[in-house]
Structures are given as structure tokens and as C-alpha cells.
Amino acid sequence: DALVYDALVSPDVVAVAQGAELFYAGKRGGQPSMKQDDINALLVRLARQGRRVVRLKGGDPYIFGRGGEEALALAGESIPFRVLSGLTSGLSALAATGIPA
């Protein structure tokens, strides 16, 4: 129902979420961006509305991704969630070039 995505997610990937309401929550150094507390509040608000929410991040959500803070915010509100870890760029780069890790 809702996709909250960051700056590292390809527009091609976002386009797959047909029918979902899109919320950009990306952060780029030196550019205006949502504060983490606001992202946490958005996730909680969308879930409280009974919507299915995907928080999509590029790479692993716990390595520089603040996934832990978002998970704690949801857990603190007794909102059930699942985390599907991505791959760090170091491992992904190896796989993309065919070099075994």
C-alpha cells in the first residue's frame, strides 16, 4: 500500500511498486532531507492506518541505514515488522563482477 524508499533505490525498482503510494525518505549529504524522527513517525503513522508498508533501502538496512532505529520505533509502538537484509556493496560488487566472495 505504501513504499518508503531511500536515495540509493533505483527508479526502476521504485516503478515496480505500481499502485502503492510513494514516500521519498532519502538522505544525501548537503541536501535537504527528512529527519530520522520524521521517517520513524511516517512508518508508524502508515502502519497505524492499517496499510502494508515497505521501507526499501539500498543495501543492508543496518549498515549506515538506520534500520535499527526504525525497527526500534516500530517495536516501541507494538507494530509487527520483518527485516529482509540486503547485501553490502562490498559483497554485491564482487558478485556483479563474477568474483566469488
Residues involved in catalysis: 6, 27
Looking at residue 58, its amino acid is G
| Alpha-helical segments (H) within the chain | 11-14, 36-48, 67-76, 89-97
Q: For the beta carbon of residue 64, count every other beta carbon within 10 angstroms.
A: 11
| 88 in Cβ contact with 59 (< 8 Å) | yes
**Residue 15 exposure: Cα atoms within 13 Å on the Cβ side:** 3
